[in-house]
Amino acid sequence: MSRPIAMGVKEVRHFDVGDGVPGTANPKTMPNPSENAVAFNFSDPEEVRIPIEGTDEPLYSHFKKGSTDYVEVSYPTPSNDIIKEVMGGVHNEGTEAAPLDEWQEAVSIPSINKTIEIESMPINGKKVIYTIVNAKIVAKFSQAPTKDNVELLMVRYYKQAAISAAGVQGYAFSRKVVAVP
């Protein structure tokens, strides 16, 4: 079996979170991210050890999770609908007689959770789909518009445990290779 070439991002999709499994309801395709602006930030485990006198070697050591893993994506010139999707708040579209397109930030930091899929470009008949089953979404404007640059919306998708209502814990992240006709 040949290995896939995972290169480039074709699509980023949001879904309502499933019950301990990847969600499939209410899909929303996000705009194309900025070139080279998708990054995996998965932490290294931290060592916990019991040192003892008389030796440089510990009596016991094990590893625990470091900081929370996340994927970071930057979206150029997002619509107000997309901003509301990742930052909450209100998107006021006005009325038919008086159209408006205004986003107003939330009064406090909202709690937004989604299933996230990041799909690579198909290469040599294969693509890779990365899934965060239960992602906590945090976003901010990271770049203001300038003469030579557009505004950027930086979104972080933090990986959280995927636990069903029955208390069954499933996987939190996956990487799936898919054949493309």
DSSP character at residue 147: S
CB 28 within 8 A of CB 112: no
Mean pLDDT, residues 62-88 taken together: 95
Q: How confident is the model at residue 1 (pLDDT cuts 50, 70, 90)?
A: low
**112 within a domain of the structure (yes/no):** yes
**Looking up tokens 């470091």, which residue turns up?**
66
What does the pLDDT look like over 30-70, one tens digit per residue?
Answer: 999 999 999 999 999 999 999 999 999 999 999 998 899 99
**101 within a domain of the structure (yes/no):** yes
Mean pLDDT, residues 70-75 taken together: 97
**160 within a domain of the structure (yes/no):** yes
- What whole-number distance in Å separates Cα of residue 122 and Cα of residue 119? 9
Q: Is the pLDDT of residue 2 over 80?
A: no
- What whole-number distance in Å separates Cα of residue 88 and Cα of residue 81? 10
**172 within a domain of the structure (yes/no):** yes
**1 within a domain of the structure (yes/no):** no
- What whole-number distance in Å separates Cα of residue 161 and Cα of residue 124? 34
pLDDT recorded at residue 66: 84
Tokens of 113: 């959770």
Q: Which domain holds residue 33?
A: 9-179
Count: domains in the chain: 1
**3 within a domain of the structure (yes/no):** no
- What whole-number distance in Å separates Cα of residue 174 and Cα of residue 19? 16
Tokens of 67: 């900081």
What string of DSSP letters covers 158-176? EE--EE-TTS-EE-SEEEE
Mean pLDDT computed over every residue of the chain: 95
- What whole-number distance in Å separates Cα of residue 25 and Cα of residue 87? 20
What does the pLDDT look like over 95-124, one tens digit per residue?
Answer: 889 989 999 999 999 999 999 999 999 999
pLDDT recorded at residue 155: 98
Mean pLDDT, residues 75-96 taken together: 95
CA atoms 152, 36, 17, 168: torsion sign = negative
**Looking up tokens 């900025």, which residue turns up?**
34
pLDDT recorded at residue 112: 98
H or E element that contains 103: strand 99-104
**135 within a domain of the structure (yes/no):** yes
What does the pLDDT look like over 141-165, one tens digit per residue?
Answer: 999 999 999 999 999 999 999 999 9
**122 within a domain of the structure (yes/no):** yes
pLDDT recorded at residue 65: 87
